[in-house]
Structure 1
Amino acid sequence: MSLLFLNEKSWGTACDPARAERAMADFVAVVRAAAVAGGATLVSEVDVKALEIAEGYPVNKWIGASPRNRALWQRLRALQGRSPVRSVFPAEDAADHLEYRHDGEVVLGLGAAHFMDGIAVSLPVARPWQTDQVTLERAELVEDDEGTPEMRHDTVDVRHLSAEPHLDGHLEWIRKARRESVTTGLRIWDSRADLYPHLTFLPRVEGQLAGLNPHWVVPVRRALERLEEAVAAWDPTAMAEPEWRSKVSPEGETRKRVCRFTDLDGDTRTFDLHARFTPGAGRIHFRLVPEERAIRLAHIGGKIRPEV
């Protein structure tokens, strides 16, 4: 099931009642269409009934304006699932290391849609929301290789709906999300062959994923997806390594000794290439397997520490 995150910034905009009526009709239509396509649930920071459709025009007033509006409200009410947005996070504070902004303003629903790999949905009043993708500024607290925290700033794109035509570009993803709902580390392990056909895993990784911190489920899933995309596009006869879609680097010489693990054939090899994920010093260690056009993963968890 895919999650639709309500963009609270799209509500309460100044407009005339007729425009607000049309916007609500479009909003209900696109939420229902997404639900039909993939069993989507609407997640909001506050109950939709507590919002203003337009400045001075609350949802309650709109509901009472006509029988048609009451019918639309009942359809929407049946699809609203959870609030606040943190209630659907793997852990309530899972995204505390992140802040998302749009035009300089903090946006909870849009940010949650990106963090949870869902879709944002907006009331189509203002022009910025009449699109199938919204760009956000993201600030992320990360740790460097020495464990020093620092803020990293970048931009990210979020899937977005505010009218039914926007759904066309997301239908395949919605249907796939319905089939492959991955919400735990153990589900990542069980689904690995289907989700990541170019990644192979040492047996030791099963225990790491089974005990994965809930804060790390979504970041690990996304990091593995980026690795899969890079390796799937890799031609080992033309390039020594894939064109990585995220930061990947080798360990320094002094740390390579802690990255040696027993491989599938019983030989001990070095798995010092690693991708990062947050919060904290999350690491995915692997080695290249060019003869299989694959990479083999040996560690998913915190930064590997030397044995004392």
Structure 2
Amino acid sequence: MPLLFLNEKSWGTACDPARAERAMADFVDAVRAAAAAGGNGTALVSEVDVKALEIAEGYPVNKWIGAAPRNRALWQRLRGLQSRSPMRSVFPTEDAADHLEYRHDGEAALGLGAAHFMDGIAVSLPVARQWQSDRVTLERSELVEDDDGTLETREDTVEVRHLSAEPHLDSHLDWIRKSRREGVTTGLRIWDNRADLYPHLTFLPRVEDQLSGLNPHWVVPVRRSLERLEEAVAAWDPATRAEPEWRTKVSPEGETRKRVCRFTDLDGETRTFDLHARFTPGAGRIHFRLVPEERTIRLAHIGGKIRPDL
């Protein structure tokens, strides 16, 4: 049941009415095909009602609907899909993505960014060539907190799933089927599905309470961080590398802080879990240690930065 996020940058561009009508027909077919694959709960998410948009410059949706009976039928097909607006209405909390900014070709990209943050699919009107692809690259700015409490802006590029025509759906079908099975939307669901989602990660029992009470702001970022750790450990060969080739920033604590990273391991021994990955907003941390003999990492803490009094 994926969320389909409308890319507002693909609407209202200059083209002739015939091209706009073809693009709208392709768009409706693509969205309906995605909804059919996604099943119940699939929704089209937009910042404003689709009916308020312009398909092309000077050619609003209302005018298109009234231009031909076929258009009215297409519109009814589109309106049959559950819709949500504005974008923030589907976020875990309204301000969950306030620490992020997404851009495409240097311009703010609200729908594309929301699709990436919420792990969904962006959908575009296929007028311009740049939207005729199953992936779109974005520039991302993220406000992060370092170990010393300093806030800084980190820049990187990310890819978002995308479709504007039915053939684009083929590359996303496996992911859609997986998302229908799992539907991980809370920290407790992460814990309950951990064996299937992250077969190369092991967890101390204390993590269950942390995930059960996970701040809604952190559900998506934690899920993404665990996915990157899982990918790295799955590709790790301890016989040839001392540690995995991390897909996210991982670092050890300094000597003075290692004492706050000691926890009772599965065998009853107390060990240091000072390696950590970060997630935002805020100073989110995932602490773990390497277990090369089992080709796994063992997680001891998922939550805020560990304070000395914890």
Normalising by structure 2, what TM-score? 0.98
- 2:159 matches 1:157: yes
- 2:296 matches 1:294: yes
**Pairing partner for 1:249 from 248, 251, 255:** 251
Kindly state the Cα deviation for residue 37 of structure 1 after the two structures are TM-superposed: 1.1
What are structure 2's unaligned runs of at least 5 residues?
none
Partner of 1:7: 7
**Pairing partner for 2:182 from 171, 176, 180:** 180
Aligned-partner Cα distance in 2 for 1:54–1:80: 24
Residue aligned with 1:230, SS: helix
Partner of 2:241: 239
Aligned-partner Cα distance in 2 for 1:169–1:104: 27
The size of the alignment, in residue pairs, is 308
Paired amino acid for 1:19: R
Kindly state the Cα deviation for residue 80 of structure 1 after the two structures are TM-superposed: 3.9
Paired amino acid for 2:105: D
Q: Deviations over 1:205-229 (max 9, x none)?
A: 0110111111000000000000000
Q: Deviations over 1:201-250 (max 9, x none)?
A: 11110110111111000000000000000000111111111000000011
Residue aligned with 1:284, SS: strand
Residue aligned with 2:188, SS: helix
Q: Deviations over 1:74-121 (max 9, x none)?
A: 110111421011111111100000000111111110000000111100
Runs of 4+ in structure 1 off by over 2 angstroms are none
Partner of 1:56: 58
Partner of 1:167: 169
Paired amino acid for 1:210: S
**Pairing partner for 1:148 from 143, 150, 158:** 150
Aligned-partner Cα distance in 1 for 2:61–2:171: 29
Partner of 1:211: 213
Kindly state the Cα deviation for residue 55 of structure 1 after the two structures are TM-superposed: 0.5
Aligned-partner Cα distance in 2 for 1:155–1:142: 16
Partner of 1:126: 128
Paired amino acid for 1:59: V
Paired amino acid for 2:194: R
- 2:4 matches 1:25: no
Task: Note the 1:61-80 alignment, pairs <5 A.
Answer: 61-80=63-82
- 2:140 matches 1:110: no
Aligned-partner Cα distance in 2 for 1:68–1:32: 16
Aligned-partner Cα distance in 2 for 1:13–1:87: 27
Paired amino acid for 2:76: Q
| RMSD after superposition | 0.8
In percent, how many aligned pairs have the same letter? 88
Partner of 2:37: 37
Aligned-partner Cα distance in 2 for 1:80–1:17: 27
Aligned-partner Cα distance in 2 for 1:234–1:151: 30
Paired amino acid for 1:42: L
Aligned-partner Cα distance in 1 for 2:106–2:229: 31
Partner of 2:93: 91
Kindly state the Cα deviation for residue 8 of structure 1 after the two structures are TM-superposed: 0.4
Normalising by structure 1, what TM-score? 0.99
Q: Deviations over 1:14-35 (max 9, x none)?
A: 1000000000000000001111
Aligned-partner Cα distance in 2 for 1:122–1:101: 15
What are structure 1's unaligned runs of at least 5 residues?
none
Paired amino acid for 1:307: D
Kindly state the Cα deviation for residue 177 of structure 1 after the two structures are TM-superposed: 0.9
Residue aligned with 1:64, SS: helix
